[in-house]
Amino acid sequence: PKTMIEPFRIKSVEPIRMTTRAERERLLEDAKLNVFKLRAEDVILDFLTDSGTGAMSAKQWGAIMEGDESYAGARSFFRLQSVLQKLTGYPHIIPTHQGRAAERIFFGVATKRGDIVPNNTHFDTTRANLEFDGVEAADLVIPEGTQPRTIHPFKGNIDLGKVEDLLKTKGDRVPFGMLTITNNSGGGQPVSMANIRAYSELLKRYGKPLILDVCRFAENAMFIKLREEGMQDRTIESIAQEMFRLADGCTMSAKKDGMVNIGGFIALKDETWVEAARNNLILTEGFPTYGGLAGRDLEALAVGLEEVLHEDYLRYRLRTAEYMGEKLLAGGVAIVEPTGGHAVYIDAKEFLPHLGPQDYPAWSLANALYLEGGIRGVEIGSVMFGRRDDDGVEHYGPMELVRLAFPRRVYTQSHFDFAAEVICELKAKAHLVRGVRIAKQTKYLRHFTAEMNWA
Ligand code: F0G
Q: Tell me the pLDDT band of 124, cut-offs 50, 70 and 90.
A: confident
Distance CA 112, CA 173 (A): 9
Using most ligand atoms within 8 A of CB, pick from 96, 215, 251, 380 the residue to mutate for ligand 1: 215
- Cα dihedral sign for 96, 342, 409, 1? negative
Residue 385 confidence (pLDDT) above 90 = no
As a whole number, mean pLDDT of residues 41-51 equals: 98
Which pTM was predicted? Answer: 0.96
Residue 397 confidence (pLDDT) above 90 = no
Residue 362 confidence (pLDDT) above 90 = yes
Q: Give the pLDDT of residue 391.
A: 87
Query: Hey, what domains does the chain have and what are their CATH numbers?
Result: 21-50+310-454 (3.90.1150.10), 58-307 (3.40.640.10)
Q: How far is the CA of 431 from the centre of ligand 1 (A)?
A: 34
Residue 220 confidence (pLDDT) above 80 = yes
The single-letter code of the amino acid at 179 is: L
CB of 243 closer than 8 Å to CB of 222: no
Residue nearest to atom 21 of ligand 1 (CA): 99
Q: Give the pLDDT of residue 1.
A: 80
CB of 176 closer than 8 Å to CB of 110: yes
Q: Give the pLDDT of residue 388.
A: 87
Residue 172 confidence (pLDDT) above 90 = yes
Q: Tell me the pLDDT band of 157, cut-offs 50, 70 and 90.
A: very high
Q: How far is the CA of 381 from the centre of ligand 1 (A)?
A: 18
ipTM: 0.99
Using most ligand atoms within 8 A of CB, pick from 184, 213, 220, 445 the residue to mutate for ligand 1: 184
Q: Tell me the pLDDT band of 164, cut-offs 50, 70 and 90.
A: very high
Q: Tell me the pLDDT band of 389, cut-offs 50, 70 and 90.
A: confident
As a whole number, mean pLDDT of residues 59-72 equals: 98
Q: Give the pLDDT of residue 221.
A: 98
Query: pLDDT tens across 265-288, in order?
Result: 999 999 999 999 999 999 999 999
Q: Tell me the pLDDT band of 2, cut-offs 50, 70 and 90.
A: confident
Q: Give the pLDDT of residue 442.
A: 86
Distance CA 323, CA 337 (A): 12
Closest CA to 155 of 284, 24, 297, 340: 340
Closest CA to 23 of 45, 43, 40: 43
Q: Tell me the pLDDT band of 386, cut-offs 50, 70 and 90.
A: confident
Please give all residues whose beta carbon lies within 6 A of any atom in ligand 1, as ranges: 49, 51, 98-100, 123, 125-126, 180, 184, 213, 215, 253, 255, 264, 405
Q: Tell me the pLDDT band of 441, cut-offs 50, 70 and 90.
A: very high
**Mean pLDDT taken over the chain:** 96
Q: Tell me the pLDDT band of 392, cut-offs 50, 70 and 90.
A: confident
As a whole number, mean pLDDT of residues 139-161 equals: 95
Closest CA to 348 of 435, 418, 446: 435
Q: Which of 65-74, 228-237, 379-388 has the lowest mean pLDDT?
A: 379-388
